[in-house]
Amino acid sequence: MADTERTFFEYLVYVSENHSPLDFMLVADHIDKFFYGALLTIEITVLALFIGGVMAIPLAIARAYRHRWLNAPIFGFTYFFRGTPLLVQTYLVYYGLAQFDFVRESFLWDPVLSSPWWCALITFSLNTAAYTTEFLRGAIENTAKGEIEAARACGMSPARVMRRIVLPSAFRRALPAYSNEVIFMLHSSVVLSTITLQDILGVGRWLNGRYYLAYEGFITAMLFYMALVFLISKGFRVWEKHWLGHLRARTAVEN
């Protein structure tokens, strides 16, 4: 039995090296590194989305209600992060901050700003906060006036109207757009490989460079990204079905 398994394995290696356009056995030997890269990609993407989402809620409220002192600075913040590439932003934080002596001598340098992981998390969080702020602002502004007036007629305070009526309604309507933002952030995570982090693409580049391959690493990375996007899309469909179920057309039931 052992000889049969060894013969079959040797046959797979032979086919992979000589007849297959993709050296799948070499990829299989290093698949653990791709899973590690996927874990790093998911870790930073999820944390950035969480931090950016928490930041975006008060920023979107201030923008939607045109706060006298906060509207202009928040607009400048969102315009900068939406108007410049994420790669440039990451380079400015990771490479740019190190050029200033007061930054290198600060208490944040060793534990945070000298680490590529932290620099990536900070940049990604600010970037997704800017995008989320703007489409959440639009959802807040488009809240039906009748819902707000009905809540006020029931005696709700402005804070309670925001918490019980406006934000839940805005979250529901912004959910389809937010699914695109999540996928966009996942795709943008390829920037991690440019600052020494071994994300999915970083592992693919490492594999190609070590074994002088043309595309095995990139194709494997592509398949990992496609699998993650599939899971995200399915998850948001379930979420939308739960949150937006009341908007689906219902057939009349005859008595």
| Percent of the chain with pLDDT strictly greater than 70 | 87
Q: Is 132 helix (H, G, I), strand (E, B) or coil?
A: helix
Whether the Cβ atoms of residue 240 and residue 177 lie closer than 8 Å to each other: no
Q: What is the pLDDT of residue 154?
A: 86
Q: Is the pLDDT of residue 252 over 70?
A: no
pLDDT for residue 79 is more than 70: yes
The DSSP letter of residue 99 is G
pTM value surpassing 0.85 = yes
pLDDT given for residue 255 in this prediction: 44
Range list of β-strands (E), the chain: none
- Average the pLDDT over 163-170 and give the result: 89
Give CA–CA dist 9/12, Å, rounded. 5
Give the integer Cα–Cα distance in Å for 183 and 113.
27
Q: Which pLDDT band, with edges at 50, 70 and 90, does 14 fall under?
A: low
Residue 130 binned pLDDT confidence (cut-offs 50, 70, 90)? very high
Report the candidate in 167, 160, 164, 163 with the shortest Cα–Cα distance to residue 143. Answer: 167
Contact 163, 224 (CB under 8 A): no
Q: Report the pLDDT averaged over residues 68-78.
A: 93
- The residues, any chain, with a CB within 8 Å of residue 42's CB and separated by 6 or more, are 228
The domains of the chain are located at 23-237
pLDDT at 245 over 70: no
Residues 78-83, mean pLDDT to the nearest whole number: 95
Angle at 229 between CA 228 and CA 232, to 5 degrees: 90
Q: What is the C-alpha to C-alpha distance for residues 168 and 180, in angstroms, rounded to an integer?
A: 19
| pLDDT surpasses 70 at 3 | no
Q: Tell me which amino acid residue 205 is.
A: R
Residue of 66 and 10 predicted with greater confidence: 66
- Sign (positive or negative) of CA dihedral 114, 120, 125, 131: positive
Domain 23-237 bears CATH identifier 1.10.3720.10: yes
Predicted confidence (pLDDT) at residue 131 exceeds the cutoff of 60: yes
Q: Which of 153, 199, 179, 147 is nearest to 53 (CA)?
A: 179
Q: How confident is residue 159, by pLDDT bands cut at 50, 70 and 90?
A: confident
Q: Nearest to residue 25, comparing CAs of 171, 211, 233, 255? A: 211
Mean pLDDT of 183-192: 94
